[in-house]
């Protein structure tokens, strides 16, 4: 399973449940939804969302995404995954509270490290 991650506000994620798809805040303005790899997501959160208390981290199975997934230069030659269309909710395999520490900086949620993605994948087949 290839996972990509997206940082969303809790309100936007809850609205997606009612709408049946998640569009994020950049699909309409930039043409894609920004995502990150697991190695990138904490750095992105600390750069763009320091201290934000209203966030969730979506773990997305890239193979289940119905929109096109492209890895593109996000600046400095580093490639980031982008979703070129709305995110179908059944591609989201985990939703984690994404809260900063007391210093306002993020770390990967402990619950993410505890996930047995291989087992989860077998259960969904």
pLDDT at 30: 95
Q: Can you tell me the mean pLDDT for 7-20?
A: 94
- Give me the domains of the chain, ranges plus CATH numbers: 3-119 (3.20.170.20)
pLDDT at 124 over 60: no
Which tokens sit at 120? 């989860």
Q: What is the pLDDT of the chain when averaged over all its residues?
A: 90
- For 66-123, write each residue's pLDDT tens digit: 999 999 998 788 999 999 999 999 999 999 999 999 999 999 998 887 776 654 443 4
Q: With left for phi above 0 and alpha for psi between -120 and 50, is residue 77 left, alpha or beta?
A: left
Distance of CA 12 to the CA centre of its chain: 12
């Amino acid at each position: 399973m290839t996972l990509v991650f997206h940082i969303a506000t809790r309100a936007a994620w809850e609205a997606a449940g009612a709408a049946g798809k998640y569009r994020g805040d950049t699909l309409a303005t930039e043409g894609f939804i920004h995502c990150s790899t697991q190695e990138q997501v904490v750095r992105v959160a600390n750069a763009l969302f320091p201290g934000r208390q209203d966030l969730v981290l979506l773990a997305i199975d890239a193979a289940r995404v119905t929109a096109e997934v492209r890895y593109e230069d996000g600046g400095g030659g580093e490639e980031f995954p982008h979703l070129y269309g709305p995110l179908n909710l059944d591609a989201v395999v985990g939703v984690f509270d994404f809260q900063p520490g007391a210093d306002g900086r993020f770390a990967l949620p402990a619950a993410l490290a505890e996930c047995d993605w291989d087992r989860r994948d077998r259960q969904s087949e």
